[in-house]
A and B are shown apart, each in its own frame.
Chain A
Protein backbone atom coordinates (compact mmCIF):
# COMPACT_ATOMS: atom_id res chain seq x y z
CA UNK A 1 0.00 0.00 0.00
CA UNK A 2 2.74 2.43 0.93
CA UNK A 3 4.52 1.84 -2.38
CA UNK A 4 1.64 3.31 -4.29
CA UNK A 5 1.81 6.99 -4.89
CA UNK A 6 -1.55 8.67 -4.81
CA UNK A 7 -1.87 10.95 -7.79
CA UNK A 8 -4.59 12.81 -6.04
CA UNK A 9 -6.68 11.76 -3.17
CA UNK A 10 -9.81 9.82 -3.84
CA UNK A 11 -11.99 8.29 -1.19
CA UNK A 12 -11.99 4.55 -1.66
CA UNK A 13 -15.11 2.44 -1.73
CA UNK A 14 -17.26 5.33 -0.70
CA UNK A 15 -19.33 5.29 -3.85
CA UNK A 16 -20.02 8.37 -5.91
CA UNK A 17 -20.76 11.12 -3.42
CA UNK A 18 -23.49 12.40 -5.65
CA UNK A 19 -25.65 9.39 -5.03
CA UNK A 20 -26.03 10.07 -1.30
CA UNK A 21 -28.53 12.82 -1.96
CA UNK A 22 -27.22 14.94 0.87
CA UNK A 23 -27.64 18.08 -1.25
CA UNK A 24 -31.39 18.27 -1.59
CA UNK A 25 -31.30 21.58 -3.40
CA UNK A 26 -28.94 20.48 -6.16
CA UNK A 27 -31.57 20.99 -8.83
CA UNK A 28 -32.23 24.50 -7.54
CA UNK A 29 -28.55 25.34 -7.86
CA UNK A 30 -28.44 23.80 -11.33
CA UNK A 31 -31.58 25.72 -12.27
CA UNK A 32 -30.07 29.02 -11.18
CA UNK A 33 -26.84 28.33 -13.07
CA UNK A 34 -28.79 27.41 -16.20
CA UNK A 35 -30.97 30.53 -15.92
CA UNK A 36 -27.89 32.73 -15.52
CA UNK A 37 -26.16 31.11 -18.50
CA UNK A 38 -29.25 31.32 -20.67
CA UNK A 39 -29.67 35.03 -19.86
CA UNK A 40 -26.02 35.78 -20.65
CA UNK A 41 -26.34 33.92 -23.95
CA UNK A 42 -29.63 35.60 -24.79
CA UNK A 43 -28.82 39.16 -23.75
CA UNK A 44 -25.08 39.42 -24.31
CA UNK A 45 -23.52 36.75 -26.47
CA UNK A 46 -26.15 36.50 -29.20
CA UNK A 47 -26.70 40.26 -29.72
CA UNK A 48 -22.97 40.94 -29.81
CA UNK A 49 -21.90 37.97 -31.86
CA UNK A 50 -24.36 37.50 -34.72
CA UNK A 51 -24.39 39.47 -37.93
CA UNK A 52 -28.13 39.48 -38.55
CA UNK A 53 -30.76 39.86 -35.86
CA UNK A 54 -33.68 37.60 -35.06
CA UNK A 55 -35.56 38.97 -38.03
CA UNK A 56 -33.85 40.64 -40.94
CA UNK A 57 -34.85 42.76 -43.91
CA UNK A 58 -33.33 41.13 -47.00
CA UNK A 59 -34.34 41.80 -50.60
CA UNK A 60 -37.34 43.79 -49.37
CA UNK A 61 -38.68 40.89 -47.32
CA UNK A 62 -38.54 40.09 -43.65
CA UNK A 63 -36.54 36.89 -43.26
CA UNK A 64 -35.31 34.75 -40.39
CA UNK A 65 -31.96 36.04 -39.19
CA UNK A 66 -29.02 34.15 -37.75
CA UNK A 67 -29.92 35.11 -34.19
CA UNK A 68 -33.26 33.29 -34.31
CA UNK A 69 -32.12 29.69 -33.76
CA UNK A 70 -29.69 30.34 -30.88
CA UNK A 71 -32.23 32.66 -29.23
CA UNK A 72 -34.89 29.97 -29.30
CA UNK A 73 -32.36 27.48 -27.90
CA UNK A 74 -31.50 29.90 -25.11
CA UNK A 75 -35.18 30.40 -24.31
CA UNK A 76 -35.58 26.62 -24.15
CA UNK A 77 -32.70 26.51 -21.66
CA UNK A 78 -34.27 29.34 -19.69
CA UNK A 79 -37.54 27.41 -19.45
CA UNK A 80 -35.70 24.27 -18.35
CA UNK A 81 -33.89 26.32 -15.69
CA UNK A 82 -37.17 27.59 -14.32
CA UNK A 83 -38.64 24.08 -14.31
CA UNK A 84 -35.55 22.87 -12.45
CA UNK A 85 -36.21 25.39 -9.67
CA UNK A 86 -39.48 23.70 -8.83
CA UNK A 87 -38.03 20.20 -9.13
CA UNK A 88 -36.61 19.02 -5.81
CA UNK A 89 -33.57 16.83 -5.21
CA UNK A 90 -31.26 15.44 -7.83
CA UNK A 91 -27.56 14.62 -7.68
CA UNK A 92 -24.93 17.35 -7.42
CA UNK A 93 -21.35 17.75 -8.54
CA UNK A 94 -19.05 17.34 -5.57
CA UNK A 95 -15.58 18.85 -5.18
CA UNK A 96 -14.24 15.33 -5.64
CA UNK A 97 -15.80 15.21 -9.10
CA UNK A 98 -14.22 18.52 -10.01
CA UNK A 99 -10.82 17.36 -8.75
CA UNK A 100 -11.16 14.26 -10.87
CA UNK A 101 -12.01 16.30 -13.94
CA UNK A 102 -9.08 18.62 -13.30
CA UNK A 103 -6.76 15.64 -13.03
CA UNK A 104 -8.04 14.07 -16.26
CA UNK A 105 -7.68 17.41 -18.02
CA UNK A 106 -4.15 17.80 -16.72
CA UNK A 107 -3.17 14.46 -18.23
CA UNK A 108 -4.88 15.27 -21.52
CA UNK A 109 -3.30 18.73 -21.78
CA UNK A 110 0.11 17.20 -21.17
CA UNK A 111 -0.65 14.53 -23.77
CA UNK A 112 -1.80 17.09 -26.34
CA UNK A 113 1.28 19.22 -25.75
CA UNK A 114 3.48 16.17 -26.37
CA UNK A 115 1.48 15.25 -29.47
CA UNK A 116 1.77 18.74 -30.86
CA UNK A 117 5.35 19.64 -29.96
CA UNK A 118 7.46 16.47 -29.71
CA UNK A 119 8.04 16.38 -33.47
CA UNK A 120 8.78 20.07 -33.99
CA UNK A 121 11.08 20.23 -30.95
CA UNK A 122 12.98 17.13 -32.03
CA UNK A 123 13.33 18.48 -35.56
CA UNK A 124 14.56 21.79 -34.19
CA UNK A 125 17.09 20.04 -31.92
CA UNK A 126 18.47 17.52 -34.35
CA UNK A 127 18.11 18.81 -37.88
CA UNK A 128 18.99 22.31 -38.91
CA UNK A 129 17.44 24.09 -41.78
CA UNK A 130 14.46 21.76 -42.04
CA UNK A 131 11.23 22.68 -40.34
CA UNK A 132 9.04 19.93 -38.92
CA UNK A 133 6.36 21.07 -41.37
CA UNK A 134 8.39 19.63 -44.22
CA UNK A 135 9.00 16.41 -42.31
CA UNK A 136 5.38 15.81 -41.46
CA UNK A 137 5.06 13.09 -44.07
CA UNK A 138 8.38 11.44 -43.24
CA UNK A 139 8.80 8.52 -40.86
CA UNK A 140 9.80 8.40 -38.07
CA UNK A 141 9.31 12.12 -37.49
CA UNK A 142 5.63 12.05 -38.20
CA UNK A 143 5.05 9.39 -35.54
CA UNK A 144 6.94 10.98 -32.64
CA UNK A 145 4.09 13.09 -31.30
CA UNK A 146 1.59 10.26 -31.41
CA UNK A 147 3.92 7.91 -29.54
CA UNK A 148 4.85 10.29 -26.71
CA UNK A 149 1.31 11.62 -26.47
CA UNK A 150 -0.08 8.10 -26.30
CA UNK A 151 2.27 7.24 -23.45
CA UNK A 152 1.18 10.30 -21.51
CA UNK A 153 -2.53 9.73 -22.05
CA UNK A 154 -2.95 5.96 -22.00
CA UNK A 155 -0.25 5.07 -19.48
CA UNK A 156 -1.15 8.18 -17.48
CA UNK A 157 -4.82 7.28 -17.15
CA UNK A 158 -4.07 3.66 -16.34
CA UNK A 159 -1.63 4.90 -13.70
CA UNK A 160 -4.29 7.10 -12.15
CA UNK A 161 -6.63 4.17 -11.68
CA UNK A 162 -3.88 1.78 -10.56
CA UNK A 163 -2.28 4.54 -8.48
CA UNK A 164 1.17 3.74 -9.81
CA UNK A 165 2.91 4.02 -13.12
CA UNK A 166 3.26 0.49 -14.44
CA UNK A 167 5.34 -1.01 -17.20
CA UNK A 168 2.16 -2.66 -18.38
CA UNK A 169 0.56 0.76 -18.85
CA UNK A 170 3.45 1.97 -20.99
CA UNK A 171 3.39 -1.22 -23.03
CA UNK A 172 -0.33 -0.81 -23.62
CA UNK A 173 0.28 2.80 -24.69
CA UNK A 174 3.01 1.79 -27.12
CA UNK A 175 0.81 -0.97 -28.52
CA UNK A 176 -2.00 1.52 -29.04
CA UNK A 177 0.31 3.98 -30.82
CA UNK A 178 1.71 1.18 -32.97
CA UNK A 179 -1.78 -0.06 -33.75
CA UNK A 180 -2.93 3.40 -34.78
CA UNK A 181 0.06 3.81 -37.08
CA UNK A 182 -0.75 0.39 -38.50
CA UNK A 183 -4.43 1.22 -39.03
CA UNK A 184 -4.17 4.75 -40.36
CA UNK A 185 -0.67 5.52 -41.55
CA UNK A 186 0.63 2.44 -43.34
CA UNK A 187 -2.36 1.66 -45.58
CA UNK A 188 -3.52 5.21 -46.31
CA UNK A 189 -1.30 7.67 -48.07
CA UNK A 190 -3.40 10.75 -47.50
CA UNK A 191 -4.40 10.37 -43.87
CA UNK A 192 -2.58 12.46 -41.31
CA UNK A 193 -1.96 11.35 -37.75
CA UNK A 194 -1.90 14.03 -35.08
CA UNK A 195 -0.40 16.66 -35.20
CA UNK A 196 0.57 16.57 -38.87
CA UNK A 197 -2.41 18.49 -40.18
CA UNK A 198 -1.69 21.50 -38.00
CA UNK A 199 1.98 22.09 -38.68
Chain B
Protein backbone atom coordinates (compact mmCIF):
# COMPACT_ATOMS: atom_id res chain seq x y z
CA UNK B 1 0.00 0.00 0.00
CA UNK B 2 2.58 2.47 1.02
CA UNK B 3 4.92 2.27 -1.98
CA UNK B 4 2.00 2.93 -4.27
CA UNK B 5 1.04 6.00 -2.33
CA UNK B 6 4.58 7.14 -2.29
CA UNK B 7 4.62 6.98 -6.03
CA UNK B 8 1.39 8.88 -6.10
CA UNK B 9 2.85 11.56 -3.89
CA UNK B 10 5.88 11.75 -6.09
CA UNK B 11 3.65 12.18 -9.10
CA UNK B 12 2.02 15.11 -7.40
CA UNK B 13 5.23 17.03 -7.46
CA UNK B 14 7.36 16.30 -4.42
CA UNK B 15 9.92 14.34 -6.42
CA UNK B 16 12.39 17.09 -5.60
CA UNK B 17 12.80 15.32 -2.25
CA UNK B 18 15.10 12.79 -3.82
CA UNK B 19 17.62 15.33 -4.99
CA UNK B 20 17.74 17.28 -1.75
CA UNK B 21 21.05 17.27 0.07
CA UNK B 22 23.35 17.46 -2.93
CA UNK B 23 25.35 20.62 -2.46
CA UNK B 24 26.00 21.38 -6.09
CA UNK B 25 22.39 21.53 -7.14
CA UNK B 26 20.63 22.15 -3.87
CA UNK B 27 16.93 22.68 -4.17
CA UNK B 28 14.51 23.46 -1.38
CA UNK B 29 12.73 20.36 -0.04
CA UNK B 30 9.34 21.98 -0.56
CA UNK B 31 7.68 25.28 -1.28
CA UNK B 32 9.62 28.21 0.20
CA UNK B 33 7.81 30.72 2.37
CA UNK B 34 9.21 34.20 1.77
CA UNK B 35 8.27 36.48 4.65
CA UNK B 36 8.20 40.11 3.57
CA UNK B 37 8.61 42.68 6.33
CA UNK B 38 7.09 45.54 4.35
CA UNK B 39 3.51 46.50 3.61
CA UNK B 40 2.05 45.11 0.41
CA UNK B 41 2.32 47.29 -2.68
CA UNK B 42 5.29 49.46 -1.68
CA UNK B 43 8.70 49.55 -3.37
CA UNK B 44 10.33 47.10 -0.97
CA UNK B 45 7.45 44.64 -1.32
CA UNK B 46 7.59 44.88 -5.10
CA UNK B 47 11.32 44.18 -5.01
CA UNK B 48 10.80 41.06 -2.87
CA UNK B 49 8.01 39.73 -5.07
CA UNK B 50 9.99 40.29 -8.26
CA UNK B 51 12.95 38.42 -6.80
CA UNK B 52 10.58 35.59 -5.88
CA UNK B 53 9.23 35.56 -9.42
CA UNK B 54 12.70 35.45 -10.93
CA UNK B 55 13.73 32.63 -8.57
CA UNK B 56 10.71 30.65 -9.71
CA UNK B 57 11.32 31.12 -13.42
CA UNK B 58 15.09 30.63 -13.29
CA UNK B 59 15.41 27.77 -10.84
CA UNK B 60 11.95 26.27 -10.74
CA UNK B 61 11.73 26.75 -6.98
CA UNK B 62 8.28 27.39 -5.62
CA UNK B 63 8.26 30.63 -3.62
CA UNK B 64 5.20 31.77 -1.68
CA UNK B 65 5.51 35.38 -0.53
CA UNK B 66 3.71 36.40 2.62
CA UNK B 67 3.46 39.74 4.46
CA UNK B 68 4.73 39.71 8.04
CA UNK B 69 4.89 43.33 9.09
CA UNK B 70 5.07 45.40 12.22
CA UNK B 71 7.36 46.55 15.01
CA UNK B 72 10.18 47.63 12.70
CA UNK B 73 10.69 44.11 11.34
CA UNK B 74 10.80 42.45 14.75
CA UNK B 75 7.50 40.64 14.19
CA UNK B 76 9.06 38.97 11.19
CA UNK B 77 12.33 38.27 12.99
CA UNK B 78 10.51 36.58 15.86
CA UNK B 79 8.47 34.39 13.52
CA UNK B 80 11.49 33.57 11.35
CA UNK B 81 13.69 32.58 14.28
CA UNK B 82 11.21 29.84 15.17
CA UNK B 83 10.85 28.51 11.61
CA UNK B 84 12.59 25.32 10.40
CA UNK B 85 16.13 25.98 9.12
CA UNK B 86 15.96 23.84 5.99
CA UNK B 87 15.58 26.50 3.34
CA UNK B 88 11.77 26.43 3.30
CA UNK B 89 11.40 29.70 5.18
CA UNK B 90 13.34 32.91 4.48
CA UNK B 91 12.62 36.56 5.17
CA UNK B 92 13.37 39.97 3.71
CA UNK B 93 14.01 42.94 6.01
CA UNK B 94 16.17 46.00 6.31
CA UNK B 95 19.45 45.81 8.19
CA UNK B 96 18.08 48.31 10.74
CA UNK B 97 15.60 45.66 11.91
CA UNK B 98 18.40 43.30 12.96
CA UNK B 99 20.55 46.18 14.21
CA UNK B 100 19.12 49.13 16.10
CA UNK B 101 15.59 47.75 16.42
CA UNK B 102 16.69 44.40 17.77
CA UNK B 103 19.07 46.07 20.21
CA UNK B 104 16.53 48.65 21.38
CA UNK B 105 13.72 46.14 21.85
CA UNK B 106 13.79 43.99 24.91
CA UNK B 107 14.06 40.78 22.92
CA UNK B 108 16.51 37.93 23.47
CA UNK B 109 17.13 37.70 19.71
CA UNK B 110 20.43 38.84 18.15
CA UNK B 111 21.72 38.66 14.58
CA UNK B 112 23.44 35.40 15.58
CA UNK B 113 19.98 33.79 15.64
CA UNK B 114 19.79 34.15 11.87
CA UNK B 115 21.71 33.02 8.82
CA UNK B 116 22.49 36.05 6.71
CA UNK B 117 21.97 35.33 3.01
CA UNK B 118 22.57 38.49 1.01
CA UNK B 119 21.74 42.18 0.71
CA UNK B 120 20.14 43.43 -2.48
CA UNK B 121 20.17 47.23 -2.49
CA UNK B 122 21.01 50.16 -0.25
CA UNK B 123 19.01 53.25 0.64
CA UNK B 124 19.82 56.71 -0.60
CA UNK B 125 18.91 58.19 2.78
CA UNK B 126 18.73 61.96 2.54
CA UNK B 127 17.50 64.79 4.75
CA UNK B 128 14.97 66.47 2.52
CA UNK B 129 13.06 69.76 2.63
CA UNK B 130 10.41 71.08 0.25
CA UNK B 131 11.72 73.65 -2.23
CA UNK B 132 8.93 76.01 -1.11
CA UNK B 133 10.85 76.61 2.15
CA UNK B 134 13.52 78.40 0.15
CA UNK B 135 16.41 76.49 1.69
CA UNK B 136 18.98 75.31 -0.82
CA UNK B 137 21.58 74.14 1.69
CA UNK B 138 21.69 72.64 5.17
CA UNK B 139 23.12 75.79 6.77
CA UNK B 140 20.17 77.88 5.64
CA UNK B 141 17.78 75.65 7.53
CA UNK B 142 19.96 75.78 10.64
CA UNK B 143 20.14 79.56 10.58
CA UNK B 144 16.38 79.74 10.13
CA UNK B 145 16.04 77.50 13.19
CA UNK B 146 18.43 79.68 15.16
CA UNK B 147 16.36 82.72 14.22
CA UNK B 148 13.49 81.13 16.08
CA UNK B 149 11.55 79.29 13.35
CA UNK B 150 10.39 76.02 14.89
CA UNK B 151 11.51 73.14 12.65
CA UNK B 152 9.31 70.05 12.40
CA UNK B 153 11.53 67.09 11.53
CA UNK B 154 9.78 64.01 10.10
CA UNK B 155 11.27 60.59 10.79
CA UNK B 156 10.01 57.06 10.11
CA UNK B 157 11.81 54.99 12.74
CA UNK B 158 13.14 55.37 16.30
CA UNK B 159 16.72 55.14 15.03
CA UNK B 160 16.14 58.08 12.70
CA UNK B 161 14.47 59.98 15.55
CA UNK B 162 17.65 59.49 17.57
CA UNK B 163 19.75 60.71 14.65
CA UNK B 164 17.55 63.79 14.23
CA UNK B 165 17.88 64.50 17.94
CA UNK B 166 21.68 64.20 17.82
CA UNK B 167 21.77 66.41 14.72
CA UNK B 168 19.86 69.06 16.64
CA UNK B 169 22.26 68.73 19.55
CA UNK B 170 25.39 69.04 17.42
CA UNK B 171 23.94 71.99 15.49
CA UNK B 172 22.67 73.75 18.60
CA UNK B 173 18.98 73.76 17.63
CA UNK B 174 15.91 72.01 19.01
CA UNK B 175 13.95 70.10 16.36
CA UNK B 176 10.33 69.10 16.89
CA UNK B 177 10.74 65.47 15.89
CA UNK B 178 7.60 63.90 14.42
CA UNK B 179 7.64 60.13 14.07
CA UNK B 180 5.37 58.66 11.37
CA UNK B 181 4.90 55.24 9.82
CA UNK B 182 6.88 54.75 6.62
CA UNK B 183 8.81 56.90 4.19
CA UNK B 184 5.67 57.71 2.21
CA UNK B 185 4.16 59.36 5.31
CA UNK B 186 7.23 61.59 5.66
CA UNK B 187 6.99 62.56 1.99
CA UNK B 188 3.27 63.31 2.41
CA UNK B 189 3.89 65.31 5.58
CA UNK B 190 6.61 67.38 3.97
CA UNK B 191 4.52 67.99 0.86
CA UNK B 192 1.44 68.93 2.89
CA UNK B 193 3.41 71.36 5.04
CA UNK B 194 2.83 69.38 8.26
CA UNK B 195 6.62 68.95 8.44
CA UNK B 196 9.47 71.23 7.40
CA UNK B 197 12.13 68.61 6.75
CA UNK B 198 12.41 64.84 6.93
CA UNK B 199 14.38 61.67 6.28
CA UNK B 200 13.65 60.01 2.95
CA UNK B 201 15.23 56.79 1.77
CA UNK B 202 15.06 57.15 -1.99
CA UNK B 203 11.41 58.16 -2.32
CA UNK B 204 12.57 61.75 -2.84
CA UNK B 205 14.42 61.02 -6.10
CA UNK B 206 11.68 62.19 -8.49
CA UNK B 207 10.78 65.21 -6.39
CA UNK B 208 14.39 66.35 -6.19
CA UNK B 209 14.83 65.88 -9.92
CA UNK B 210 11.68 67.93 -10.56
CA UNK B 211 12.88 70.68 -8.23
CA UNK B 212 10.05 70.31 -5.68
CA UNK B 213 12.30 68.83 -3.00
CA UNK B 214 15.86 69.57 -1.91
CA UNK B 215 18.38 67.08 -0.49
CA UNK B 216 19.89 69.19 2.32
CA UNK B 217 22.21 66.48 3.61
CA UNK B 218 23.09 62.82 3.31
CA UNK B 219 22.20 60.71 6.34
CA UNK B 220 24.71 58.09 5.24
CA UNK B 221 28.43 57.65 5.70
CA UNK B 222 28.82 58.58 2.01
CA UNK B 223 27.37 61.34 -0.16
CA UNK B 224 24.05 60.97 -1.95
CA UNK B 225 24.33 59.84 -5.58
CA UNK B 226 21.78 62.44 -6.65
CA UNK B 227 23.20 65.38 -4.63
CA UNK B 228 26.89 64.65 -4.00
CA UNK B 229 27.57 68.21 -2.75
CA UNK B 230 25.21 67.87 0.23
CA UNK B 231 27.15 67.27 3.47
CA UNK B 232 27.14 63.80 5.01
CA UNK B 233 25.85 63.34 8.55
CA UNK B 234 29.39 62.84 9.90
CA UNK B 235 30.36 66.28 8.52
CA UNK B 236 27.54 67.71 10.63
CA UNK B 237 29.03 66.39 13.84
CA UNK B 238 27.09 63.17 14.37
CA UNK B 239 29.25 60.05 14.62
CA UNK B 240 26.41 57.71 13.58
CA UNK B 241 24.74 57.11 10.23
CA UNK B 242 21.62 55.70 8.64
CA UNK B 243 23.39 53.35 6.23
CA UNK B 244 21.06 50.50 5.47
CA UNK B 245 20.34 47.66 3.10
CA UNK B 246 17.53 45.36 2.14
CA UNK B 247 18.61 41.97 3.40
CA UNK B 248 17.52 38.34 3.00
CA UNK B 249 17.91 36.14 6.08
CA UNK B 250 17.08 32.56 7.10
CA UNK B 251 16.82 30.97 10.54
CA UNK B 252 20.00 30.04 12.38
CA UNK B 253 21.56 26.72 11.42
CA UNK B 254 20.71 26.72 7.73
CA UNK B 255 22.95 24.07 6.09
CA UNK B 256 25.89 25.57 4.19
CA UNK B 257 24.86 24.21 0.80
CA UNK B 258 21.42 25.76 1.20
CA UNK B 259 22.90 29.04 2.34
CA UNK B 260 25.29 29.20 -0.61
CA UNK B 261 22.68 28.15 -3.15
CA UNK B 262 20.11 30.65 -1.91
CA UNK B 263 22.38 33.66 -1.50
CA UNK B 264 24.03 33.04 -4.87
CA UNK B 265 20.72 32.65 -6.61
CA UNK B 266 19.37 35.91 -5.16
CA UNK B 267 22.63 37.80 -5.78
CA UNK B 268 22.69 36.65 -9.39
CA UNK B 269 19.17 37.90 -10.02
CA UNK B 270 19.82 41.22 -8.31
CA UNK B 271 23.05 41.77 -10.18
CA UNK B 272 21.49 40.98 -13.55
CA UNK B 273 20.19 44.29 -14.94
CA UNK B 274 18.08 42.30 -17.41
CA UNK B 275 16.07 40.46 -14.74
CA UNK B 276 12.75 41.88 -13.58
CA UNK B 277 14.09 42.45 -10.07
CA UNK B 278 17.37 43.86 -11.38
CA UNK B 279 15.56 46.37 -13.59
CA UNK B 280 13.35 47.47 -10.71
CA UNK B 281 16.29 47.84 -8.31
CA UNK B 282 18.17 49.88 -10.90
CA UNK B 283 15.22 52.26 -11.26
CA UNK B 284 14.08 52.57 -7.66
CA UNK B 285 17.24 52.09 -5.59
CA UNK B 286 20.02 53.29 -7.92
CA UNK B 287 21.40 49.81 -8.63
CA UNK B 288 22.24 46.68 -6.65
CA UNK B 289 24.38 46.52 -3.51
CA UNK B 290 25.24 42.89 -2.82
CA UNK B 291 26.99 41.83 0.36
CA UNK B 292 26.77 38.18 1.38
CA UNK B 293 28.42 35.36 3.29
CA UNK B 294 30.55 36.08 6.34
CA UNK B 295 30.91 39.74 5.37
CA UNK B 296 27.19 40.17 5.76
CA UNK B 297 27.02 38.22 9.01
CA UNK B 298 29.72 40.55 10.38
CA UNK B 299 27.96 43.64 9.04
CA UNK B 300 24.75 42.64 10.83
CA UNK B 301 26.54 41.87 14.09
CA UNK B 302 28.43 45.20 13.91
CA UNK B 303 25.20 47.08 13.30
CA UNK B 304 23.67 45.41 16.34
CA UNK B 305 26.70 46.15 18.53
CA UNK B 306 26.94 49.78 17.38
CA UNK B 307 23.29 50.40 18.22
CA UNK B 308 24.12 50.56 21.90
CA UNK B 309 26.29 53.63 21.35
CA UNK B 310 23.56 55.45 19.47
CA UNK B 311 20.94 54.53 22.04
CA UNK B 312 23.17 55.80 24.81
CA UNK B 313 24.11 59.01 23.01
CA UNK B 314 20.47 59.79 22.27
CA UNK B 315 19.38 59.23 25.85
CA UNK B 316 21.79 61.82 27.20
Are A and B close enough to touch in the complex, i.e. CB under 8 Å? Answer: yes
Which residues of chain A have a CB within 8 Å of any CB of chain B?
51, 59, 126-130, 133-141, 190, 192, 197
Tell me which residues from 1 to 60 in chain B have a Cβ below 8 Å from any Cβ of chain A. 2, 5-6, 9, 12-14, 17, 29-31, 33
Complex Cα gap A190–B64 (Å): 5
Taking chain A's interface residues, is the majority helix, strand, or loop, or is none over half, making it mixed?
Answer: loop
Instruction: Show 11 A/B contacts (Cβ-Cβ < 8 Å), sorted by A.
Output: A59-B315, A126-B2, A126-B5, A127-B5, A128-B2, A128-B6, A136-B30, A136-B31, A137-B30, A138-B9, A197-B33
Indicate which residue in A51, A135, A190 contacts B9 across the interface (CB closer than 8 Å): A135
CB-based contact B9/A137 at 8 Å = no
Complex Cα gap A59–B12 (Å): 58
CB-based contact B29/A134 at 8 Å = yes
Indicate which residue in B88, B314, B315 contacts A134 across the interface (CB closer than 8 Å): B88
B164 → chain A, closest Cβ, in Å? 9
Contact (A137, B314) CB under 8 Å given A59-B161, A130-B9: no
CB-based contact A130/B66 at 8 Å = no
CB-based contact A138/B13 at 8 Å = yes
Name the residue on B nearest A131 (C-beta): B30
Indicate which residue in A126, A128, A129, A139 contacts B12 across the interface (CB closer than 8 Å): A139
B287 → chain A, closest Cβ, in Å? 27
Q: Given A127-B5, A127-B9, A137-B30, 7 more contacts at CB 8 Å?
A: A59-B162, A59-B177, A59-B315, A133-B84, A134-B17, A141-B12, A197-B33
Name the residue on A nearest B30 (C-beta): A134
Complex Cα gap A192–B65 (Å): 10
- B contact residues around A126 at 8 Å (CB): 2, 5
CB-based contact B30/A135 at 8 Å = yes
Which residues of chain B have a CB within 8 Å of any CB of chain A?
2, 5-6, 9, 12-14, 17, 29-31, 33, 62, 64-66, 84, 88, 106, 161-162, 165, 177, 314-315
Q: Please give me the 3 A-B residue pairs with the lowest Cβ-Cβ distance, nearest first.
A: A134-B30, A137-B31, A59-B165
A109 → chain B, closest Cβ, in Å? 24
Indicate which residue in B14, B33, B161, B177 contacts A138 across the interface (CB closer than 8 Å): B14
CB-based contact B161/A197 at 8 Å = no
CB-based contact B65/A190 at 8 Å = yes
A100 → chain B, closest Cβ, in Å? 36
Complex Cα gap A139–B29 (Å): 17
A141 → chain B, closest Cβ, in Å? 7
Indicate which residue in A127, A138, A141, A197 contacts B66 across the interface (CB closer than 8 Å): A197
Complex Cα gap A7–B104 (Å): 54
CB-based contact A59/B314 at 8 Å = yes
Name the residue on B nearest A134 (C-beta): B30
A43 → chain B, closest Cβ, in Å? 23
Q: Which of B5, B9, B14, B17 has the most CB of A within 10 A?
A: B9
- B contact residues around A139 at 8 Å (CB): 12
Contact (A138, B64) CB under 8 Å given A59-B165, A133-B88: no
Indicate which residue in B17, B33, B314 contacts A130 across the interface (CB closer than 8 Å): B17
- A contact residues around B5 at 8 Å (CB): 126-127
- B contact residues around A59 at 8 Å (CB): 161-162, 165, 177, 314-315
Complex Cα gap A39–B113 (Å): 40
- A contact residues around B165 at 8 Å (CB): 59
A131 → chain B, closest Cβ, in Å? 8
Name the residue on B nearest A137 (C-beta): B31
Complex Cα gap A69–B296 (Å): 40
Complex Cα gap A192–B162 (Å): 40
A197 → chain B, closest Cβ, in Å? 6
CB-based contact A130/B161 at 8 Å = no
CB-based contact A134/B65 at 8 Å = no
Q: Which of A133, A134, A137, A140 has the most CB of B within 10 A?
A: A134
B31 → chain A, closest Cβ, in Å? 4
A185 → chain B, closest Cβ, in Å? 12
Complex Cα gap A128–B6 (Å): 8
Complex Cα gap A51–B165 (Å): 22
